[in-house]
Amino acid sequence: MPLELTPEQQAIASGARGEGAAMAMRIVAATARLMGAPSLIPIASAHIDGALYHGDSGTLFAEKLAEGGAKVAVRATLNVGSLDLTGCSKNRLEPHERGMARRMMDAYRTLGCEPTWTCAPYQAGHRPALGSDVAWGESNAVVFCNSVLGARTNRYGDFLDIACAISGCAPYYGFHQPENRRAKIIFDVSGLEVSFLDSEVAWPILGSLFGREVGDSVGVVAGIDHHPGEDALKAFGAASASAGAVGLFHVAGVTPEAPDLATALHHQTPEAVIKVTGDMIKESRHRLSTVADAQTINAVAIGSPHLSSTEFDRLEALIAGRRLSVPLYACTGRHALATLESSGKRQTLEKSGVIIVADTCVVVTPILPAIDNAVLMTNSGKFAHYAPGNTGYGVIYGSMAECVESAVTGRPMFGAA
């Protein structure tokens, strides 16, 4: 079916709103044709992942849009950049890269995007309504938006996300279409210990396993008897999107499109049922660590996705005023940083040796010191997946409590509550 543009969309593509908007509309329309979408649909908002510096071409692209007079047509929040503009942390970018990264961040602000600089915009007040169509980038933000909020977005990649925001529309395909949101695979955790399911450490492990088992399909988690909290679902979604290509999951009785198992399946027979066992959990946890026998650690990093205010409260309680032996990098957005500063908790945490990282994170820009054979401990399934390749650090996975105890002693500590 050929793509049909409305008269307004055709006018924008022809330059009615300037060359920048015309370029954006042409990009969206070309993508729609490639994906076989019959039309473009209006969107309520966007979350832009393309402001992270990966090379000069990205900066020049954003500046070309701005030079063409483009402005976002819908609310558009910004994902992490390559610089911590708050000054909480420093990175090791070379002068040219630093300059281009700053120009890129400035260009996206010129386009009208909100300088939220967080991978968790849903924690910063950007929470589109159930059933609304949006164009979000960044894997954890996409899966949270689809799954926990029940808004509808595909995994919009760099530059297509800003093109959608400027044009105000997105291709009608994939998760925008209700029939594609049906769960096809049941991920049954009813055989696992309740104490494990209630623990913080469970959700990145489960998410990593879910991602590997489900891939890019839609699955529904069955066997959860109560809402585990948004931070748990955030961790699950981030790990599943990193280990697989998950853009949408359901949890029966918890997430908005799954009031029960039958509804999540759209009352159809599942294609597969995965009965999760304790041995599968052990293997999944083992996979999250790349270092087996380290006697010491060089750093701890938490906050991927960015830490919420609730997680900072837990971090402060776990440290309990002690001095850390190795730096603990706590990555967050400026929305949470503002709360830390107003409550005096930033000073308390930094006095203990916590390094707060805002606007970015330690896995996407060089903040961690360059150390041979270095070891990083984390409670993030996403950090565990990406850190070895992005930072060169070996990884040990543990709970937040285990991460804190390890930061205090300087060596891996397990068994902390």
Residue whose pair of structure tokens reads 């990205």 in the numeric block: 58
Task: Using the predicted structure, report yes or no on whether residue 416 has a pLDDT greater than 80.
Answer: no
Residue 329, strand partner residues: 301, 355
Residue whose pair of structure tokens reads 């925001």 in the numeric block: 165
For residue range 116-127, what is the model confidence (pLDDT) as tens digits?
Answer: 999 999 999 999
Q: Is 30 helix (H, G, I), strand (E, B) or coil?
A: helix
Q: What is the pLDDT of residue 293?
A: 87
CA angle 374, 379, 382 (to 5 degrees): 85
Q: Is 196 helix (H, G, I), strand (E, B) or coil?
A: helix
Per-residue DSSP letters for 37-73?
-SBEEE-SEEEE-TTS-SSHHHHHHHHHHHHTT---S
pLDDT band at residue 413, thresholds of 50, 70 and 90? very high
User: What average pLDDT score do residues 209-224 get?
Assistant: 97
For residue range 155-172, what is the model confidence (pLDDT) as tens digits?
Answer: 999 999 999 999 999 999
Q: Is 333 helix (H, G, I), strand (E, B) or coil?
A: coil
Query: Which option is the CATH number for 7-178: 1.10.1200.10, 3.30.390.30, 3.30.499.10, 3.40.50.720?
Result: 3.30.499.10
Q: Show the DSSP H helices in 288-377 as ranges.
A: 309-319, 334-343, 345-352
Task: Using the predicted structure, report yes or no on whether residue 417 has a pLDDT greater than 60.
Answer: no
299-409: CATH topology: Aconitase; domain 3 (3.30.499)
Q: What is the pLDDT of residue 292?
A: 83
* Rounded distance between C-alpha atoms, residue 399 and residue 242, angstroms: 18
For residue range 33-57, what is the model confidence (pLDDT) as tens digits?
Answer: 999 999 999 999 999 999 999 999 9
Q: b/e for 287-302, b at 16 or more Cβ within 10 A?
A: bbbbbeebeebbbbbb
CATH topology match: 7-178 vs 299-409: yes
For residue range 265-299, what is the model confidence (pLDDT) as tens digits?
Answer: 999 999 999 999 999 999 999 999 999 889 999 99
Could you tell me the residue ranges of all domains in the chain? 7-178, 182-287, 299-409
Considering the chain, what is the average pLDDT of its residues? 97
DSSP classification of residue 138: S
User: What average pLDDT score do residues 225-241 get?
Assistant: 96
Task: Using the predicted structure, report yes or no on whether residue 103 has a pLDDT greater than 60.
Answer: yes
Q: What share of the chain in percent tops pLDDT 90? A: 98
pTM score:
0.96
- For residue 170 the two structure tokens come to 């997105």
Task: Using the predicted structure, report yes or no on whether residue 386 has a pLDDT greater than 70.
Answer: yes
For residue range 315-360, what is the model confidence (pLDDT) as tens digits?
Answer: 999 999 999 999 999 999 999 999 999 999 999 999 999 999 999 9
